[in-house]
Structure 1
Amino acid sequence: MPPGPFLLRRLLFPMLACLVTGSAVAQSSQPYFPPSPMLEARAWVLLDAGSGQVLAQQQADSQQEPGALVRLMQAWVILNALRDGRLQPEQRVRVSALAAQAAWDWRKERMPRWRSCSTVC
């Protein structure tokens, strides 16, 4: 028995449409990479989160002073320690000599000459 118009309309045409559109999508084998963004930042890096591959960068190896994110992270760590009771508001925190020597003065691009830094409020 030959296929009727119902079979052609309901099954064959949708299958043919899927085949045509699927093959058109499959032909684009090259991934699209937009041009690097034009940012006003002095230095930046764009990484692929899965592989860690650098996708784009501008002056990634240049030394820059720490930005607002560093200050936000410091505040976050301190506030969490206060909340958890590991730190009191009036408590003095002892800084090791090694940590004090490792501090970097980014504005002057040199290591500071600290003789001792025993406490930080």
Structure 2
Amino acid sequence: MFKKWTLHSWIIAFCLLAVSPIQAQKLVPAPPELAAKAWILIDAQTGHVLVESDADVQLPPASLAKMMTTYIVSNEIEAERLEETSKVLVSDNAWERGGAKTDGSTMFLKPRTEVSVLDLMHGVIIQSGNDAAIALAEHISGSEIAFSDNMNRQAQLLGMTNTVYMNATGLPAEGMVSTARDLSIIARSIIRDHPKYYSIYAKKYYKHNNINQPNR
């Protein structure tokens, strides 16, 4: 079962069923009443939608935008343009916009230090670290703005037609939107294309700089 990232507006769930879509429909109960503004439940193996509510309504993706960030990093590693052990320099910008001085989720990176790509992946996936996401974006594309262009190109390739990314973190930005359906596409793509890194989502804790944080 894919980790359910539940924010104020979203619930995206995945069901791994060893049955046909028709049988799956018979197994799924009536749609529940949820507080989320939009939600969707799909079969992760087939992509078949089991139940949904307002799945095409555009809303700010918040930290769920980081799924695309980690997907692109995984693509770069698989293409051998990046290595897990590659060292990434944490910029002052990554620290100022996503570090300990902010009110957002952070990996507690120290500015002007070097951290491995794999450690940063853990920081993004488990700790939802904004600083880690920005550091990776800058390392891959030179700037977070350039990286967001990469995110949008990848979204179009995957068929996420109602999504626009403005940054690598999901922090509030004018014009950044997605839908429950589109987010289910990127989540399923992670499961299908990068099972090795998908396994990180199951980890309960991750420690960096002697700070142990639970999975968010």
Please report the TM-score for the alignment, with normalisation by the length of structure 2: 0.27
The structure whose residues are more often helix, as a share, is 2
- Greater relative CO, 1 or 2 (CA 8 Å, sep 6+): 2
Please report the TM-score for the alignment, with normalisation by the length of structure 1: 0.43
